[in-house]
Amino acid sequence: MTEPLQFHLTLYPEPVLRKVAVDVPAFDDDLRATVRAMFDLMYQSNGVGLAAPQVGLQKRILVLNATGKPEDELALVNVTIVDRTGEPSLYEEGCLSFPGIYAEVKRPERCRVKAFSPDGAPIEREFDGFVSRIVQHEYDHLEGVLLVDRMSAADKQRHKAALQELVDRYRSRASSAARTR
């Protein structure tokens, strides 16, 4: 028996978070196991969305659930936002890769996506409200764009110490990994 797939969260500023994710080549059992493990980690972390780079994978996969109800699970594979419409609004966002950091981000009200389900069925849908907000946040991850890039200069200043602490922790993880190699 193989071990169930288990991911851990990739935290800022790990380099994979800055890479542009690439399309998944096959809609197979590996992909479905990846999607399931991403949902599991998202729920464990009390998140409403998670993108593959946040589990260390440079793949265009995102999962979300705005309500936490099983029927509201949404997995978008090889996803593209094809249109964004509506009045931009400010809303406070968090990110599992930036624990404890929240900032208001301006985004358009609606987005239209083209994607595939984990089984390879084409999806074309328009989202608005909170779901649209989550989709746009997670989609940023696939383009290597992060909360820190979207926040105002004032918020960046306000979170300066917390951001620096994440950088320091990353550096100390990287140097202890180098020592044990």
Report, as residue numbers or ranges, the catalytic residues: 138
Residue nearer to Co ion on the CB measure, 37 or 179: 37
Contact 12, 97 (CB under 8 A): yes
Contacts of 163 (CB under 8 A, 6+ apart): 12, 98, 101, 148, 156
Residue nearer to Co ion on the CB measure, 93 or 115: 93
For Co ion (CB under 5 A), the number of binding residues is 1
Select from 21, 66, 76, 95 the one that contacts Co ion (CB under 5 A). Answer: 95
Angle CA 18–73–150, to nearest 5 = 30
| Shortest distance, position 141 Cβ to Co ion, whole Å | 6
Residue nearer to Co ion on the CB measure, 79 or 95: 95
Q: DSSP 3-state assignment of 143?
A: coil
Considering only 5-13, 30-38, 93-101, 127-135, which stretch makes contact with Co ion by CB under 5 A? 93-101
* Rounded-to-integer distance, Cα 146 and Cα 140, Å: 7
| Shortest distance, position 140 Cβ to Co ion, whole Å | 7
Residue nearer to Co ion on the CB measure, 110 or 137: 137
CA 3: distance to chain centroid? Answer: 24
Considering only 38-46, 75-83, 95-103, 156-164, which stretch makes contact with Co ion by CB under 5 A? 95-103
Of 22, 93, 27, nearest to 53 by C-alpha is 22
Kindly tell me the number of DSSP H helices and DSSP E strands found in the chain. Answer: 5, 7
Contact 61, 71 (CB under 8 A): no
Binding to Co ion, residues 54-73 (CB under 5 A): none
Considering only 14-22, 33-41, 89-97, 112-120, which stretch makes contact with Co ion by CB under 5 A? 89-97
| Shortest distance, position 63 Cβ to Co ion, whole Å | 12
The residues binding Co ion (CB under 5 A) are 95
